[in-house]
């Protein structure tokens, strides 16, 4: 699709857009199933980058609880609990600019290995990565690498100056070369234009193969970051973005990511109808709140949502874990 074609979709009358997205969703996915992923910040804060949205950048004064890399046992324990609560995937996040070849990386490789042996999909988001590091992660059993484009190439330097848009693309290529699946999406609500949202989807659509998973985050405006006073995103923009993503990237999982805490049940239902089929489970994202367990249980009950099994889309990658 060209940028113009994507724009024409994004600008459809909302009900028409939702209806078309829902049709695509039903053609490629089971609309009753939603992937439940659990997020854990294994290393929080102190990041040298200047991402304007991020509470973990060392240069902003935010109220997060900083900690060094967690112990492997605690991380595996978290994964087991997440699995008991219905999660099929765990995403490990570290506030690093890039992965370094040091003892911390070795520790992360061990975490990945043990969690994947439980039979769960493991995703990691650790910053920039070389091909060699990506191969080590794949060897340890990593299933997916998350590395968001975050916004369009044109708007990128208004949000981040300490790295280039192309650095992001290169890391995604390295992850791909190692055989990892890709999770890459972005954030709405940072002051970007409609064209920037479309431009980001266009770049994602150029990645071949397309990212298996596309998180759509709504900015969580955190006190102390440059975007702390960004006005809230109208829920209709989010639904429009999710629906457009579903149509542009029909086979990908579209994740209704950060921002769910400020959405009503009705708004979330619209997002699922418009093609979202993945969420983060658990009362915390990396550093900000997410709906708690009983709220989500109620949501799934009301909407008749069933959790997706691990490796549902790639059964050949399944490890023989304790629950496999
Ligand atoms: N440091 C690594 C990196 O930047 O790729 C991994 C962790 S970073 C926190 C992962 C993603 O979280 C970012 O790319 C961004 O999309 C998302 N994120 C961070 N802060 C956010 C916020 N305040 N609101 C919404 N999404 C946010
Ligand atoms: C993604 O796209 N969103 C998640 C995950 N990938 C790593 C992170 C959201 C972070 C929201 C802000 C916070 O909790 O610090
Ligand atoms: Fe660091 Fe990632 Fe936050 Fe940017 S988004 S400041 S790279 S933790």
Residue 17 contacts residue 9 (beta carbons within 8 Å): yes
**What is residue 318's predicted lDDT score, i.e. its pLDDT?**
66
Contact 114, 77 (CB under 8 A): no
Atom of ligand 2 nearest to the CA of 55: 15
| Rounded-to-integer distance, Cα 45 and Cα 62, Å | 10
Lining residues, ligand 1, CB within 6 Å? 53-54, 56, 93, 95-96, 125, 127, 147-148, 150, 187, 217, 219-220, 222, 258, 286
Ligand nearest to the CA of 51: 3
Cβ of 189 below 6 Å from ligand 3: no
Distance separating the N- and C-terminal Cα atoms of the chain: 39
pLDDT in tens, 86-119: 899 999 999 999 999 999 999 999 999 999 999 9
Q: Which range, of 169-178, 299-308, 315-324, averages the lowest pLDDT? A: 315-324
- Give residue 33's domain range: 3-319
Indicate if the pLDDT at residue 310 is higher than 80. Answer: no
Decide if 255 is catalytic.
Answer: yes
Task: Report CA 118 to chain centroid distance, whole Å.
Answer: 22
Q: 229: exposed, middle or buried (C-beta count within 10 Å: 0-12, 13-18, 19+)? A: exposed
- Rounded Cα distance, 135 and 103, in Å: 17
Strands 89-94 and 33-43: parallel
Could you tell me the distance, in angstroms and rounded to a whole number, from the CA of residue 277 to the centre of ligand 2? Answer: 17
In a domain, 143, yes or no: yes
Cβ(81)–Cβ(114) below 8 Å: no
Query: Is there a contact between 216 and 183 (Cβ–Cβ < 8 Å)?
Result: no
pLDDT recorded at residue 323 = 37
Q: In the annotation, is 183 catalytic?
A: yes
d(CA 46, CA 105): 17
70-87 pLDDT tens trace: 999 999 999 999 999 889
Percent of the chain exceeding pLDDT 70 equals 96
Q: 43 C-alpha vs ligand 3 centroid, how far in Å?
A: 11
The whole-angstrom separation of Cα 94 and Cα 127 is: 8
Strand partners of residue 134: none
Question: For this structure, is 51 an active site residue?
Answer: yes
Cβ neighbors of 318 (< 8 A, separation 6 or more) are 119, 310, 311, 324
Mean pLDDT of 237-242: 98
Provide the pLDDT confidence category of residue 302 given band limits of 50, 70 and 90: very high
Residue 319 is predicted with a pLDDT of 58
| Position 324 in a domain | no
- The domain total for the chain is 1
Cβ 6 vs Cβ 27: under 8 Å: no
**pLDDT tens digit sequence for 205-216:** 999 999 999 999
- pLDDT value at position 312? 72
Average pLDDT over residues 45-55: 98
Tell whether 164 is covered by a domain.
yes
Q: What is the chain's mean pLDDT, rounded?
A: 95
Inter-axis angle of helices 14-28 and 265-273, nearest 10 = 60
Phi and psi (nearest 5°) for 193? -90, 170
Residue 186 lies in a domain: yes
Taking 60 as the threshold, does the pLDDT of residue 65 lie above it? Answer: yes
Question: If you average pLDDT over residues 271-279, what whole number do you get?
Answer: 98
216: CA distance to ligand 2 center in Å? Answer: 10
Using 50, 70 and 90 to split pLDDT, how confident is the model at 320?
very low
- Please indicate whether residue 54 is annotated as part of the active site: yes
Is 271 a known active-site residue? no
pLDDT tens digits for range 107-165: 999 999 999 999 999 999 999 999 999 999 999 999 999 999 999 999 999 999 999 99
Tell me the CA–centroid distance for residue 251 and ligand 1, in Å: 24
The maximal CA–CA distance of the chain, rounded, in angstroms, is: 53
Lowest-confidence range among 252-261, 264-273, 292-301, 308-317?
A: 308-317
DSSP alpha helices (H): ranges in 1-124? 3-10, 14-28, 72-84, 103-116
Give the CATH number, domain containing residue 20: 3.20.20.70
Instruction: List, in sequence order, every residue forming a beta bridge with 3; answer none if it has no partner.
Output: none
Atom in ligand 1 nearest the alpha carbon of residue 53: 23
CA of 93 from ligand 1 middle (Å) equals 9
Kind and range of the H or E run holding 216: strand 213-218
């Amino acid at each position: 699709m060209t940028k113009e074609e994507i724009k024409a979709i994004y600008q459809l009358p909302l009900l028409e857009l939702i209806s078309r997205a829902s049709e695509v969703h039903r053609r490629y996915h089971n609309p009753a199933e939603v992937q439940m992923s659990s997020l854990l910040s294994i290393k929080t804060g102190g990041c040298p980058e200047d991402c304007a949205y991020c509470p973990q950048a060392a240069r902003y004064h935010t109220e997060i609880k900083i900690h060094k890399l967690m112990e492997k046992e605690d991380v595996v324990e978290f994964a087991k609990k997440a699995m008991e609560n219905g999660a099929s995937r765990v995403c490990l996040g570290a506030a690093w600019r890039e992965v370094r070849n040091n003892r911390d990386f070795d520790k992360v490789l061990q975490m990945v290995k043990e969690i994947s042996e439980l039979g769960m999909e493991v995703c990691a988001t650790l910053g920039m990565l070389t091909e060699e590091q990506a191969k080590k992660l794949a060897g340890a059993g990593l299933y997916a690498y998350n590395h968001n484009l975050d916004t369009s190439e044109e708007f990128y330097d208004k949000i981040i100056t300490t790295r280039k848009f192309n650095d992001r693309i290169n890391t995604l290529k390295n992850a791909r070369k190692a055989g990892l699946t890709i999770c890459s999406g972005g954030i709405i609500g940072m002051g970007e234009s409609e064209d920037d949202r479309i431009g980001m989807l266009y770049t994602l659509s150029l990645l071949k193969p397309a990212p298996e998973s596309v998180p759509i985050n709504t900015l969580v405006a955190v006190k102390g970051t440059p975007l702390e006073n960004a006005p809230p995103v109208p829920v209709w923009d989010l639904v429009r973005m999710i629906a457009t993503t579903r149509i542009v990237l029909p086979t990908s999982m579209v994740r209704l990511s950060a921002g769910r805490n400020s959405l009503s049940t009705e708004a979330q239902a619209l997002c699922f109808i418009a093609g979202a089929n993945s969420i983060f489970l658990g009362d915390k994202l990396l550093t900000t709140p997410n709906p708690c367990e009983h709220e989500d249980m109620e949501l799934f009950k009301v909407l008749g949502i069933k959790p997706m099994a691990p490796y549902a889309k790639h059964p050949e990658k399944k490890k023989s874990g304790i629950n496999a």
